Amino acid sequence: MAVKAFVLIETRVGKSSEVTASLQKMEFVKTAVPVTGPWDIIVVAEGEMLSDIANLIMGKMKQVNGITRTMTCLTTGSIISRINTPVSGCQGL
């Protein structure tokens, strides 16, 4: 099951469009959109493993000129569905 994260990004003044365009080209980035409010861009990222998301954020995103701060919010839906799915032969334990 895929790992999904929402990445909130703050950029330097005037860099939002340039940063968004760079992010949209990256592997594991499903969408990157500029927004209003305290954050400048929200990215939806999805990978097969948590390491895919970690490498995207800690490696590729940190190299983008204009990003000043990020906050990553991992989704919990896939984790909860795995916890609540009974393992074959273990129902009722």
21-59 residue pLDDT tens: 999 999 999 999 999 999 999 999 999 999 999 999 999
Say if 60 falls within a structural domain: yes
Helix ranges, the chain (H): 16-24, 50-55, 77-84
Say if 41 falls within a structural domain: yes
Reported confidence tier of residue 90, pLDDT bands at 50, 70, 90:
very low
* pLDDT of 65 higher than 90: yes
How many domains does the chain contain in total? 1
Say if 45 falls within a structural domain: yes
Say if 87 falls within a structural domain: no
pTM: 0.79
Q: Domain of residue 45: give its range.
A: 3-74
Q: What is the CATH number of the domain that holds 69?
A: 3.30.70.920
Say if 80 falls within a structural domain: no
CA–CA dist 73, 87 (Å, integer): 28
Say if 69 falls within a structural domain: yes
Say if 14 falls within a structural domain: yes
* pLDDT of 93 higher than 70: no
CA distances from 11 to 2, 24, 33, 66, 83 (A): 28, 15, 13, 5, 37
Reported confidence tier of residue 2, pLDDT bands at 50, 70, 90:
confident
